[in-house]
Amino acid sequence: MSSMLPKVVVTRRLPGISGARLAGKVTVAAPPPDAPMPPEELLRLAPGTSGILCTLADRIDRPLMDAAGPSLKVVSNYAVGVNNVDVAEATRRGIRVCNTPDVLTQATADLGFALMLAAARKFSEAETALRAGEFTGWDPWGFLGVPVYGGTLGIVGLGKIGAAVAVRAKGFGMRILYHNRRPLPADRERILSVEYRGLDELLAESDFVILCVPLTPETRGLIGRERLARMKRTAVLVNIARGEVVDEGALADALAERGIFAAGLDVYEKEPVVHPGLLAAPSAVLLPHVGSATAETRERMGRLAAENLLAVLSGTEPFSPVN
């Protein structure tokens, strides 16, 4: 009986994706591992598979689609970002690609805002000193940060997560600038209390710059040496998008030379490797890609990823298609 069910590969054990959710609807090719699935293993399991439920650590590219063959109908990514999937190639082959938007918007915006506060107020540096036994009493000169309340925030990529960051910034009395490929409709700008700027103007005017763009050929390397040089020396850069949006070497240099005040990073160019210059920078607050990491959010991401996969395989429209 189970051999009649479509075969799927689930590349990792994930919150919200229990065997019970998939039971009776698909056959899972192999027990999902507790660590990222090695690419060779994914290639080995791919032939004859109808669906792949994967994470941002898996590359879903042309060779993998070739290995899967024409049976492959859906790639359901357990992430909102789909830069790990060759969407154009999938579309060409009629393979549906789905992601997990909305369910992680608030958690990711919370994290972005927290990183902004933490970097502005030197949380990492201060806590590291305390843990090292260096808290010898209140110090009028210690760990002087920059004020967040009332500052100017520049949001690069005002999509769902960027808008959720703007809502938080309003509560902090901030002036909010944003940059998108195209300005939003005027009523949307009014509701969010945001003003459009060209990227270079936004960088020059903002006290805080937060990156919320998807990784695409246009946004890869968007913030390099020249753009960092446009920022105020007192400014803070926050990246909750993808590491490849920023030139990490240039950022490490900017922090070392005090070209900007601080950075708050959740994502890295070559995860899980972090640039040594960033690890060495006391003014960088560094988190291990935890934007969506609340138990509730991860559970909801899993449910949505599973429902998307099952919808396509049962011939209905998925809840959050990318193509």
Q: Token pair 């590291």 is at which residue? A: 128
Structure tokens that stand for 90 in this block:
């999938």
**Nearer residue to ligand DGY within complex by CB, 159 or 259:** 159
**Of residues 41, 271, 299, 307, which has the active-site annotation?**
271
DSSP state of 89: H
Smallest distance, Å, CB 55 to ligand DGY?
Answer: 8
> Is 242 one of the annotated active-site residues of the chain?
yes
**Of residues 121, 289, 300, 303, which has the active-site annotation?**
289
Smallest distance, Å, CB 269 to ligand DGY?
Answer: 14
Smallest distance, Å, CB 232 to ligand DGY?
Answer: 28
CA distance to 207, 223, 245, 253, 267, per residue, from 226 (Å) = 17, 8, 14, 12, 21
> Is 275 one of the annotated active-site residues of the chain?
no
Give the CA count within 13 Å in the CB-facing half-sphere of 77: 26
- Which stretches of the chain bind ligand DGY, using CB under 6 A? 56, 79-81, 104, 291-292
**Nearer residue to ligand DGY within complex by CB, 80 or 245:** 80
The span from the CA of 275 to the CA of 265, in Å, is 12
Q: Which of 300, 301, 259, 267 is nearest to 283 (CA)?
A: 259
* N- to C-terminal Cα separation, the chain: 32
Beta bridge partners of 155: 178, 210
**Nearer residue to ligand DGY within complex by CB, 6 or 291:** 291
Are 55 and 34 within 8 A, CB to CB? Answer: no
Smallest distance, Å, CB 18 to ligand DGY?
Answer: 19
DSSP string, 222-266: -B-HHHHHHS-TT-EEEE-S-GGGB-HHHHHHHHHTTSSSEEEES
**Of residues 197, 242, 275, 300, which has the active-site annotation?**
242
Structure tokens that stand for 13 in this block:
């054990």
Are 270 and 104 within 8 A, CB to CB? Answer: no
Q: Token pair 């590359």 is at which residue? A: 59
**Nearer residue to ligand DGY within complex by CB, 81 or 154:** 81
> Is 271 one of the annotated active-site residues of the chain?
yes
Residues recognised as catalytic: 242, 271, 289
